Amino acid sequence: MLEEEGVDALLVTHLANIRWLTGFTGSAGLLVVSRVSATLITDFRYATQAPQEVGTAADVVIDRRNVWDRLTRVLATQAPTSLGVESGTVTMRDAERIRAATSARVVPLVDTVERLRQVKDATEVDAIRAAGALALAALAEVLPTIRVGERELDVASRLEAALRRRGSEWHPFPTIVASGPRAALPHAHTSARVIGRGEFLLIDFGAQLEGYCADITRTVVVGAPADDRQRAVYDLVWEAQRRAREGVRAGMTGSEADALARDVIVARGFGEAFGHSLGHGLGLEVHEAPRLAPTAEVPLPVGAVVTVEPGIYLPGWGGVRLEDDVWLSASGPVLLTDGRTELIELDC
The answer to whether the beta carbons of residues 214 and 171 sit under 8 Å apart is: no
pLDDT value of residue 108: 97
Domain end call among 117, 151, 167: 117
Together in a domain, 172 and 317: yes
Together in a domain, 138 and 75: no
The answer to whether the beta carbons of residues 41 and 75 sit under 8 Å apart is: no
Together in a domain, 40 and 133: no
The answer to whether the beta carbons of residues 104 and 8 sit under 8 Å apart is: yes
The answer to whether the beta carbons of residues 265 and 294 sit under 8 Å apart is: no
Together in a domain, 11 and 97: yes
pLDDT value of residue 236: 98
pLDDT value of residue 48: 97
Together in a domain, 188 and 84: no
Q: Residue 52 is part of a domain; what is its CATH number?
A: 3.40.350.10
The answer to whether the beta carbons of residues 208 and 169 sit under 8 Å apart is: yes
Task: Give the separation between CA 344 and CA 221, rounded to whole angstroms.
Answer: 6
DSSP string over 131-173: HHHHHHHHHHHHGGG--TTSBHHHHHHHHHHHHHHTT--S-SS
Domain end call among 117, 146, 173: 117
Residue 230 one-letter amino acid? Q
pLDDT value of residue 113: 97
Q: Residue 274 is part of a domain; what is its CATH number?
A: 3.90.230.10
CA 264 to the chain's CA centroid = 25
Together in a domain, 15 and 48: yes
How many domains in the chain? 2
CA-based nearest residue to 117, from 303, 256, 254:
303
Residue 189 to residues 15, 156, 176, 247: CA-CA distances in angstroms?
Answer: 26, 11, 6, 32
Domain end call among 117, 145, 180: 117
List, run by run, the mean pLDDT of 10-residue segments along the chain (348 residues).
Answer: 95 98 97 96 97 98 94 95 96 95 96 96 98 98 98 98 98 97 97 98 98 98 98 98 98 98 98 98 97 97 98 98 98 97 93
Together in a domain, 108 and 152: no
Together in a domain, 70 and 126: no
Q: What are phi and psi of 10, to 5 degrees?
A: -125, 130
Together in a domain, 194 and 327: yes
Together in a domain, 94 and 146: no
**pTM, full prediction:** 0.95
Structure letter (DSSP) for residue 300 = P
The answer to whether the beta carbons of residues 145 and 186 sit under 8 Å apart is: no
Together in a domain, 206 and 331: yes
State the pairing for strand pair 199-209/176-179: antiparallel
Task: Give the separation between CA 127 and CA 213, rounded to whole angstroms.
Answer: 8
Q: Which residues contact 309 (CB under 8 A, 6 or more apart)?
A: 215, 217, 241, 278, 279, 321, 322, 323, 324
Together in a domain, 213 and 230: yes
- The domain in which residue 152 lies consists of 122-346
The answer to whether the beta carbons of residues 102 and 30 sit under 8 Å apart is: no
